[in-house]
Structure 1
């Protein structure tokens, strides 16, 4: 009898246990649609490469939906490494590794790829030949640098010193180029030198390069540069105006000096020059005569009108040197005027004299200006003079101007030039530091070198005496009897100049004195009296040691040794000029002289083949133990100041300049803060 569902009677309703069992079976069927129990369902295990491939496929689908056709399919890292190893094996001429059978989805299912690499690494190492380089793991730059230092050969002490010196010179020479501010801002670079129209005579143009070089070697001239004009050993070959040639004959200048043999033709050809030669070698004529010829040519073609000029500019570090240069140039311009050539107006532009005379000449138009940096900058800034048509610039004692702090003034002066100019730099001492800095202002320069930069004049007999401080004045009177007057006496500071001047006056000596604190007219009058023979002795500071020409001086006395060897070279160069012989006597006192300057003096005497006193020979010389440095670096002594008794690491001049820069820093925060003294 069938059961009635509405009545709730029947066998199913009658047995509650059976009904509960049926409900559990229905629930299990709903949970396991696949007919397997939950415990028997396998868990999907993914490897890292499969996950990466799935992510790559997802990215590919997204990019395809966005329309990016440049997408490259992602290659797993394992495949890339195997491909690189196969290429490496093929380059080594060996068979590549056996390709794995099947796809990456087959094989042992390892949970971590790193574990699989660790299991396969010993087998790959055993199968790879020893000649195949191993795959380098990822390393930081610090680790690679440390390993490279360990693998590098040990650096010798000499190489370490040379590396330190090169680093110091690199930092020292990293200065702003000596060019105008506009040229630096617009990155204006001139590639061709100025054209003057002058050419060497046909005879010289026909010389071979070997003959020209043999002529330079005959006069101990070394040159550096491209297309160097031939050296001309006579003034007739230089094609100077006849009045200038006759004046040279009248003054007894029959043949040019070595620096003039090569320097004047290069300057006449319009080339930029770095001229290095010993004191008294005639460097003034090297830049003066070409400028006079250029000014005469321009005046004949197109005379200057009122307010125009100058055509050429000569800058000197001291007033005395500028005044002397004007006197030399005026002699040749007067000779040209007397010979029928146009008049050339030369203006002296220095401080300490009335500016009205300078303004009157500027209103008429000036051809040549000889100036010191301070007064020249003042006139240019106030627009009382311009350099619109100036195309010739000569820097006398160029390294001294940089050392004296005129570098910024020179850069401001250059900013007033409107076009390219021919630049010439001359000095007796021009170390590598200054030469590198000077080259930044020159265009296709020619370096003319006669002897070593900073070497003493070989025509000067150097005598060095040890004299106690209290005996100097008495010994000075004895030294004045060695030669006939005039005699030049140098002292380091102004107080000593005044003390020596007063002491000699009390002894009845006709003596004059010059130093920086004296009035300009008084300084010019003292030098004029000394040159004219009214005074027998001139006592001066280093202001009179730079470029001044005293032809009749046979004896120079250094009352004390200067702090820099460059000043010593300039001092003794006031005698032995123009081929004449002179004597230089130097007083040495151990309480005032440092060991570094004494070593420089010792090597300078050896180089000039002079007698070295016993107290200098007894000094311990560290450079004698470091001769390999000079041989390897090619620089004998200091590359900064040119001293032969020390290297740049022990340069006293560099130390003093560093201290001066530290003292010049402003203390913005007070109490020894930024830039102040601690």
Structure 2
């Protein structure tokens, strides 16, 4: 029975096979087998990476393609669409693609920065209100009677560039005068040359080599050089010589003048500049030349004594913005015959909120004047909007704007706030006196001064809360070596010349890297070596610390570990060329992330006046 059932099953299977063979629908779905090797060749031919094979192949299916299998996927992963390219070629192609993306990002950032900088410059054109209203513009610089020696004028351009390159002098501007390497070739009279020698000035510094010929030629100028490089001489000597020339042609009568106006951000700096002008005036008078009269107009001093000098006829006025504006508004004197204007530490003056005062001062001029701007830190935002008020200006730059002096050894220490005042005694042992200590707040200055006196250290202190007589006595005692330590706010950081200072101590890190550069610039002056120690701690703004880190790297100074570990927006490796922020000059960030620009925009939007954000110690400038 089992045998008969087996036969029936076999018969049924055979019948089913015959029915399947006769079924025409199965012929339509039939797919001939194609070996794996041939399938791989077909795929390569499809993507164009291989020439069609010359080997005979079986006919390709016309209507249907074989479904890819796991074996096919494995073969594709081994061969791939770039199987004919070597790994080296594939690496080069990927590298080019990454570089293109990198360039696109870099160009985008630079474009954004340029637009932002232009918008800032457009808002702050440094021109007088009256000139802006009348559309007054001057096409040619003021002419003077001075010319360089003929043989220097005939120097070939290649020689002039070699001299500039040797002394790291960078010049921008049309028809810039050539640099001159001696005071004798600048045609100063023997009396002036002897006066310079008595001060130990034998040959000009790089800023003087290029700056003095430019100013003596009557050119408007932006002068940028590190602290202690002799910028003051570049604008004081020419104004003395110009005033002497005017006095010899036609003596100044009563109530006449001034011919030259020098504006400084602080009383101490104005006093120092006035003393230098008086020194040259006395030497000229001793040499038989007419007396050059100058007047110091600063707050905290008698207005009547200043009016008395002005009423006798004055050639040069040195002033701070506040007292100058007051006297101009009260018409104590005018600027009708003034043809020479210098803004010393121009960027700091504008940053401290005196921009509107400076613009108003420009409006008091009745004719074209020669305008000079000088500073150690002058970012592009100042340079750009200053050019709107200057006529074919010459920009003289010795080194990078805002760079620290290479003659100063910088040491940054992490000190807790409560331990700073005790740590001062240890820091003072690093060098011999004199030592200058900076603090941000007036209260800190008084506390440090009292502490040092209790420890038996000869110290004096100055800040904006002290009267002018006390400030002047303190500075003179320190300058003459009667006191070993001067404790001060930033009133002592702008341009003051203490030639013998061995050590500058920053009791706290200033809120602006430009203030830091000015502070440490009080030492290491005129080729001498100096040291600067800065205390920092957790509360210090990170953007300032990043600026400090890059400043130390630029000056080839030791970078402490806590600073080296910090990473900021300027450490993105994009290689943006001109490092740092074009608005404030900080190296640790770009203008698109500038905290100073953001703060300025916020204050402008809120309508806050200058008195609300002038730094401590600066309110009486």
TM range, smaller chain: 0.7 to 0.9
Once the two structures are superposed, what CA deviation does each residue of 1:520-574 show, in whole Å capped at 9, x if it has no partner? 2211111111111121101111111011111110100001111110000000000
**Residue 314 of structure 2 is aligned to residue 314 of structure 1:** no
Pairing 1:127-526 to 2, within 5 Å after superposition = 156-526=104-474
Partner of 1:593: 540
Deviation at residue 154 of structure 1 after TM alignment: 12
Q: TM-score if structure 2 supplies the norm length? A: 0.80
SS at match of 1:406: helix
The counterpart of 1:618, out of the listed 540, 565, 586, is: 565
Distance in 1 (CA, whole Å) between partners of 2:519 and 2:349 is 17
Deviation at residue 157 of structure 1 after TM alignment: 3.2
SS at match of 1:197: coil
Partner of 1:33: none
The counterpart of 1:661, out of the listed 580, 589, 604, is: 604
Pairing 1:529-540 to 2, within 5 Å after superposition = 529-540=477-488
Deviation at residue 652 of structure 1 after TM alignment: 1.8
Once the two structures are superposed, what CA deviation does each residue of 1:275-334 show, in whole Å capped at 9, x if it has no partner? 000000000000000111100111011000000000100001111110110011111110
Distance in 2 (CA, whole Å) between partners of 1:289 and 1:483 is 35
Stretches of structure 1 that go unaligned for 5 or more consecutive residues are 1-152, 667-678
Distance in 2 (CA, whole Å) between partners of 1:570 and 1:508 is 29
Distance in 1 (CA, whole Å) between partners of 2:324 and 2:593 is 37
Distance in 1 (CA, whole Å) between partners of 2:281 and 2:346 is 25
Once the two structures are superposed, what CA deviation does each residue of 1:40-92 show, in whole Å capped at 9, x if it has no partner? xxxxxxxxxxxxxxxxxxxxxxxxxxxxxxxxxxxxxxxxxxxxxxxxxxxxx
Task: Judge which range, 480-489 or 646-655, deviates more.
Answer: 646-655
Deviation at residue 627 of structure 1 after TM alignment: 2.8
SS at match of 1:331: helix
| CA shift in 2, pair 1:426/1:457, >3 Å | same
The counterpart of 1:642, out of the listed 585, 607, 617, is: 585
Deviation at residue 660 of structure 1 after TM alignment: 3.0
Pairing 1:100-111 to 2, within 5 Å after superposition = none
| CA shift in 2, pair 1:211/1:566, >3 Å | same
Partner of 2:495: 547
Partner of 2:55: none
Partner of 2:520: 572
Once the two structures are superposed, what CA deviation does each residue of 1:177-233 show, in whole Å capped at 9, x if it has no partner? 322222212211100001111010122122111111111111000101111111001
| CA shift in 2, pair 1:271/1:665, >3 Å | closer
SS at match of 1:464: strand
Is 2:106–2:574's contact at 8 Å kept on the other side of the alignment? Answer: no
SS at match of 2:317: strand
Partner of 1:556: 504
SS at match of 2:261: strand
SS at match of 1:512: strand
The counterpart of 2:551, out of the listed 596, 604, 614, is: 604
SS at match of 1:323: helix
Distance in 2 (CA, whole Å) between partners of 1:162 and 1:272 is 30
The CA RMSD over aligned residues, in Å, is: 1.5
SS at match of 2:318: strand
| CA shift in 2, pair 1:358/1:665, >3 Å | closer
Is 2:102–2:574's contact at 8 Å kept on the other side of the alignment? Answer: no
Once the two structures are superposed, what CA deviation does each residue of 1:488-546 show, in whole Å capped at 9, x if it has no partner? 00011111111111111111111111111111221111111111112110111111101
Runs of 4 or more off by more than 4 Å in structure 1? none
Distance in 2 (CA, whole Å) between partners of 1:516 and 1:650 is 32
Q: TM-score if structure 1 supplies the norm length? A: 0.73
SS at match of 1:385: coil
Distance in 2 (CA, whole Å) between partners of 1:660 and 1:324 is 33
Deviation at residue 168 of structure 1 after TM alignment: 1.9
Partner of 2:619: none
Is 2:434–2:500's contact at 8 Å kept on the other side of the alignment? Answer: yes
Deviation at residue 393 of structure 1 after TM alignment: 0.5
The structure having more radius of gyration, on CA atoms, is: 1
Deviation at residue 659 of structure 1 after TM alignment: 3.4
Deviation at residue 412 of structure 1 after TM alignment: 1.4
Distance in 2 (CA, whole Å) between partners of 1:609 and 1:627 is 22
Deviation at residue 171 of structure 1 after TM alignment: 2.0
Distance in 1 (CA, whole Å) between partners of 2:606 and 2:422 is 38
SS at match of 1:238: coil
Distance in 2 (CA, whole Å) between partners of 1:638 and 1:316 is 25
Distance in 1 (CA, whole Å) between partners of 2:432 and 2:102 is 62
Is 2:144–2:217's contact at 8 Å kept on the other side of the alignment? Answer: yes
Higher relative contact order (CA 8 A, sep 6+): 2
Distance in 2 (CA, whole Å) between partners of 1:556 and 1:154 is 43
Distance in 1 (CA, whole Å) between partners of 2:245 and 2:530 is 40
Deviation at residue 663 of structure 1 after TM alignment: 4.4
Distance in 2 (CA, whole Å) between partners of 1:299 and 1:622 is 56
SS at match of 1:627: coil
Distance in 2 (CA, whole Å) between partners of 1:377 and 1:588 is 38
